[in-house]
Structure 1
Amino acid sequence: MTSEIKRTLALSQELLNAVRLIKAGFGQLQSIGAGNDFYHLPLLTLASGFERFMKVTLCFRWLEKHGCFPTDKAFPSGRNGHDLRHLLEKVRTECFLDDYVDNIPVAQDDIEYLNSERLLSFIGVLSDFGQAARYYNLDVIVGRQVQTDDPDTAWQRLETEILLARKELLAEIEENPASNRIRLEINNEVVARLERLARAIARLYTIGMIGRDAKRHLAYIGCFLHLPDAELGTKKYELSGSAL
């Protein structure tokens, strides 16, 4: 098997891994609730999934632009290699081509969303987690200077912001503090925001015109590509991120 074939197969497998991780992370988020406050698992899964999805997308764009696979210098290494903020900025600047953004209305909506605080607040927590916060407790144990907030606390703070912005949920808390619907609604809102990110990246593989090789992988990203607005946050995901 030639090196070129190995790289091609590895790129396909990495895209499949990314999609499965993201789907599993959504399922794990949906399981958060009474009796389950294990935020570490979905944060770990989603940080890895979105990092891989964005890097693979940038690889497809590189292939189309340069006619070859990227080198090991294409992405930062070490801790900086897990910086989702930086990767998202690269996707915005390198993959959202002018013809696409200027002529396709959904592309304009996507690029606005990728720059919105509604998304970036969650990407910030996932980025911090991937770079350092996943070792927050170990850093505290050994007395190392902590570089980030406690990731569980940071994520729950964002969930609280969603709650405070939803007057109907606040009213339900007053009427029925034990209502499970409040937790379900918050979980679904978080999943919807991240689904919208996944959909925006998936669209690059078709109408985004990032390359012929990307278009050959539409079956991999169809679960995000065909999500209508009305269904964001409504799908039930498997905890395992089962095969497509």
Structure 2
Amino acid sequence: MPEIENIKYFALLEEFETSHKLIKLGFGELQNINLSNGFYFLPFQLLSQGFERFMKAYICLGHLHKHEKLPNSKYIKNLGHDLEKLLKEIIENYYRDFNRSQFNLDNEFIQTDSDLKELLFILSEFGKLARYHNFDLITDNAKIGVNTTQLWEAFENKVLNSKDYEKLMDFNLSHEVYNKISTYIIVVFEKFISAISRQFIFKCLGQKGIQLSASTFFDFGMLCEKDFGKKDYRSQTTKYKETPKKVHKRTILDDIQRNINPEFKSKKILKSEYNGDWPFYADKVIIECRQSHWCIVTIDGFDYALNGSAKGRYKLENPHDAGMAILGKSISNFIKMALELNTT
């Protein structure tokens, strides 16, 4: 591959770094959506910008590898803001078979997955016109964009089932519904980004591709089926960093109370012995029910609220919000087991 001017090389590197940060922040803001935070505009803005910049930087690199020169401005401008069009351009011109079974899985996903197509359409519409939807309404603009929030909510509703709607009515479990939605969507996007990023790892874009992506999209390229939907991206966001995590470090007195107070029932549970989908990052926890109402879980010496009653009484975070449980995995069975300790 020919050499390119340093100023252009570092500009391309900056685009990969910027898009990588935007995408991760977008995922984090999706995970921040909950009953009290319905600000979809922010993740839409971050993800539409992040995906567009990533794919355009990828196309520049692909063009350099294929034609031994960078594309001109007319070529890039003609691609516009349509994410589906950008992906089509990549597939048709700069997406190569790296002779692994993973390629077939990646290729089939990015070309045929209906969820990916629908989500990219929504973000494309947001990037093109819909971000100014309200101003178009206010000013009687004849060329008005679609309401992407409504389209997104319609997609979310397809993810949910009758049990999820029941959870929305349950103070203890409503947050799990939002976790399920964000996890489902992020899995789709992680599969999309990792499929494209693997082109770097398998040298489909040459040595420059490895150099330019080494500090950015290699982490996505290394993801496989067992990894999707497991990462908590909220730690990247300002909202999560600035929100104090209300946890309680246990004391000797707490342990004495647990052992001698007849109104405090507790049980240690090990991941290796649990028959179900283990929701915690730690391999063992202790569940406790106090006075038949307040359920907590102890993880690595700290207490977290299992149910809403304990959250209100002790001012504790639940394990999901504290980053101690995997988003998208329910803790409802642990609440049930803690309450059942009173009957044993």
Which TM bucket (shorter chain)? 0.7 to 0.9
Secondary structure (helix, strand or coil) at the match of 1:220 reads: coil
| Structure 1, unpaired ranges of 5+ | none
Aligned equivalent of 2:106? 110
- Which of 169, 172, 177 is the aligned partner of 1:177? 169
Task: Report the AA paired with residue 154 of structure 1.
Answer: L
- Give TM-score scaled by structure 1 length: 0.88
Correspondences of 1:121-140 after superposition (within 5 Å): 121-140=118-137
What are the within-5 Å matches in structure 2 for residues 188-207 of structure 1?
188-207=183-202
SS across alignment from 1:180: helix
Partner of 1:41: 42
Q: Which residue of 1 aligns with 2:208?
A: 213
TM-aligned CA deviation for residue 109 of structure 1: 1.1
SS at match of 1:68: coil
Map 1:220-239 → 2, pairs under 5 A:
220-237=216-233, 238-239=236-237
User: What fraction of aligned residue pairs are identical, expressed as a percent?
Assistant: 30
Q: 1:104: how far off? A: 2.2
How far off is 1:218 after superposition?
A: 2.2
The alpha-carbon distance between structure 1 residues 125 and 104, as it changes in their structure 2 partners (threshold 3 A), is same
Largest Rg, 1 or 2: 2
- Which residue of 2 is the match for residue 15 of structure 1? 16
How far apart are 1:48 and its partner, in Å? 0.3
* SS at 1:155 equivalent: helix
| TM-score, scaled to structure 2 | 0.63
Which portions of structure 1, spanning 4 or more consecutive aligned residues, are displaced by more than 4 angstroms?
Answer: none
Structure 2 counterpart of 1:174, one-letter code: E
Over aligned residues, Cα RMSD in angstroms?
1.7
Higher helix content, 1 or 2 = 1
- In 2, the alpha carbon distance for the partners of 1:47 and 1:119 equals 13
Residue of structure 1 aligned with 2:146, choices 144, 149, 169: 149
Seen in structure 2, the aligned counterparts of structure 1 residues 156 and 200 have a Cα distance that, compared at 3 Å, is same
> In terms of mean alpha carbon deviation, does 172-181 or 140-149 score higher?
172-181
Instruction: State the shift of 1:146 in Å.
Output: 4.7
Structure 2 letter corresponding to 1:76: K
Paired letter, 2:196: I
Greater displacement, 180-189 / 227-236: 227-236
Shift of residue 15, structure 1, vs aligned partner: 0.4
- What does the per-residue CA deviation read over 1:93-145, in whole Å, with 9 as the maximum and x for residues that have no partner? 11222x43xx3221111121112102100000001111111111110110012
Aligned twin of 2:81: 82
- Higher strand content, 1 or 2: 2
**8 Å contact from structure 2 (residues 16, 57) kept in 1:** yes
8 Å CA contact retained: 1:205, 1:215: yes
**Relative contact order, higher structure (CA 8 A, sep 6+):** 1
Count of residues in Structure 1 that have an aligned counterpart in Structure 2: 228
1:54 Cα deviation from its structure 2 partner: 0.5
Residue aligning to 2:60: 59
Q: Name the CA shift for 1:215/1:225 in 2 (closer, same or farther; >3 Å).
A: same
User: Residues 96 and 208 of structure 1 are in contact (CA less than 8 Å); yes or no, is this contact kept in structure 2?
Assistant: no
Give the partner amino acid of 1:37: G
Aligned CA distance change for structure 1 residues 220 and 176 (closer, same or farther; 3 Å): closer
Match of 1:111, SS? helix
Question: CA shift at 1:214, angstroms?
Answer: 0.6
